[in-house]
Amino acid sequence: MKIDVVIKVGGSLGRSRGLGKLLDSIARWKGATNVLVIPGGGVFADLVRAEYRRLQLTEHAAHRMAILAMDQYGLQLCDLASKAAPASSLNQVMEVIRCGQLPVYLPSRSLSHHDPFAHSWGVTSDSIAAYIAGRVGADALLLLKHVDGIFARDPKIDPSAPLLPRVARSRLPRDCCVDREFAKWLNGIDCCWIINGARPARVKEWLECRRTVGTCVVTRGTKSPHPPFTKGGHRGI
């Protein structure tokens, strides 16, 4: 058994009343595909960022706190969805899948053993999701956000900016809806899409057809710098 698709559920979707329904729908729409959900940080990471500024915390402390925020958001997702269950190791992920549920990964435990990331706000759950997707050998990474994808220019500044249906990872705009380290962690992933998770029909279409309105980040020709993850060790997940 392997993980086919990693889906990162962005924290920007956390205020949506239909979030639990979305996860339950993903559990139905995925069919025979094995899916692993990675949570964003949501309002919990927002609080960490606010306290980092208010108390002038170190970036090391803020980084660890932000990873714990992903755990909290993950537990929130599981509580909202009837078909989702938390997992903090690959063994637990596989057990959740065998039980017919959707695994939501809580990353703090594994990242306390092996954390390859710079401890800065330049790394977010986007990069962590890409790293985990590469480690488990997933074929595809899907980022669900509250935006339609990557635009040629900031749509908040220029509402006429066109949506980019495809973009090479080496040409990701510096300031867009993914963090600046994201491209680095896409090694080994064949397919990466960014779509609007507030549009459930697009999520359904992607799971069924591997295409929809959104942005496909072209990653071909990359190889993972990390050894394949094995169940027995602490490295990876």
Indicate whether 30 belongs to any domain.
Answer: yes
* Whole-Å CA distances, 65 to 41, 132, 235: 10, 19, 20
Indicate whether 237 belongs to any domain.
Answer: no
Q: How many domains does the chain have?
A: 1
Burial of 71: CB neighbours in 10 Å, binned 0-12, 13-18, 19+: buried
Residue 137: predicted pLDDT: 94
The CATH number that applies at residue 187 is 3.40.1160.10
Residue 236: predicted pLDDT: 52
Residue 235: predicted pLDDT: 42
Indicate whether 31 belongs to any domain.
Answer: yes
Indicate whether 226 belongs to any domain.
Answer: no
Residue 72: predicted pLDDT: 98
Please compute Rg for the chain using Cα positions: 17
Closest by Cα among 33, 69, 72, 29 to 51: 69
Closest by Cα among 148, 152, 161, 119 to 206: 148
User: Is the distance from CB of 99 to CB of 34 less than 8 angstroms?
Assistant: no
Indicate whether 193 belongs to any domain.
Answer: yes
Residue 232: predicted pLDDT: 38
Q: What string of DSSP letters covers 156-206?
A: TT-TTPPB-SEEEGGG--SSSSS-TTGGGGGTT-SEEEEEETT-HHHHHHH
By residue range, what is the domain housing residue 53? Answer: 5-218
Type of residue at 54: R
Indicate whether 32 belongs to any domain.
Answer: yes
**Separation of alpha carbons 102 and 182, rounded Å:** 25
Residues 6+ apart with CB under 8 A from 51: 57, 65
Indicate whether 225 belongs to any domain.
Answer: no
Residue 199: predicted pLDDT: 96
pLDDT along the chain (237 residues), means of 10: 95 90 96 96 96 96 97 97 96 96 97 93 94 95 96 90 94 89 90 96 96 93 42 44
Q: What tokens were used for 196?
A: 């609007």
Indicate whether 27 belongs to any domain.
Answer: yes
Give this prediction's pTM. Answer: 0.91
